[in-house]
Structure 1
């Protein structure tokens, strides 16, 4: 059994995508980031950076004591190695998968998050920041579109952890969707993943765990998410 410390954010969706695809047994431990639960000592013992998701694997491959893992990219890599799935076994395929996984965690995720922050959550509109992050995300969409013009998925012909990492960040904000006419290969890839039954099961958890997802933030949530800690 795997305990998943989760809230329905793009990074949270990455891990449920894998767990649903792999059919692993897991239990959701909700971490309400709008109420500051990510700062509780019990969670910090698992995720010292006070970010979710995180997991605790109670049946690690070595048969030892439970293993905790934080950071969504590390979790995907851990689960892929544990199950032997969604990560190519050959050296060249593995390199491609890790390149695109790290591309997402270092670029697509942070830049998309900043784009969303300055467009959706910031208390004042700062044109420089809006243009800066919007332009960078568009550049990244162009990078992924070029890759997908030559391959069905990011690491090659098979769906894998690099795709699971990137997919939730493509339409993370309803009002900030990609320019799909300019990036048709990105659209083809996104539609293919959206149609997967495991993707639909993973995203159905959003309404179960947080029925208020998508609603404007109240002052308490803003304080916990964006205030100094």
Structure 2
């Protein structure tokens, strides 16, 4: 049975504490558990792990790596799948999860009788007009604050996506420059009109994976890794 404490970050497997996650890792793990066996995008997990903060995309990759190490202690009952360039999926059985999160509710005061309630209602009615006006003013202020926050959040998300795209382009560009300057390339002819090259060797399984990824398109392609993901990246040079 997998148990986690969203306050302390402790993760327990079969009544034994196996790890203590950081605050961001705990928030990301909670988000993955809420969407168990469903897709969670990178943008969504970054927003969950670091709300209203700007972090590099690599921060999410590091957090996922640490959570994966913890889930290795569950004997394969839970594991995280990487969806290429998009996000992650936490696989596992819902009946093997026992959350320690307790929903606290205010106690109900049953000592008041009907006469006391009626007395309070009469006292409240005398000042109801002033209260209504105060509520309306407060609602207007809250509406303005929410509108400003939504506006700032929208531009923040656009900025993060733009920065991430520029980061990926920079990594691929540096890879292309290195590929052509080193002169030591491993090349494979996937088909009559399709060729791939890179600085490390590929086994037949990875060659087939790349071939399926580019869907038999013709031309010359370069392959390699970036520091954000464990998947091989492929880039056309034609």
TM-score (norm 1): 0.23
Higher strand share: 2
Q: Taking CA–CA contacts closer than 8 Å with sequence separation of 6 or more, which of the two structures ends up with the larger relative contact order?
A: 1
TM-score (norm 2): 0.22
Q: Which has the larger radius of gyration?
A: 2
Higher helix share: 1
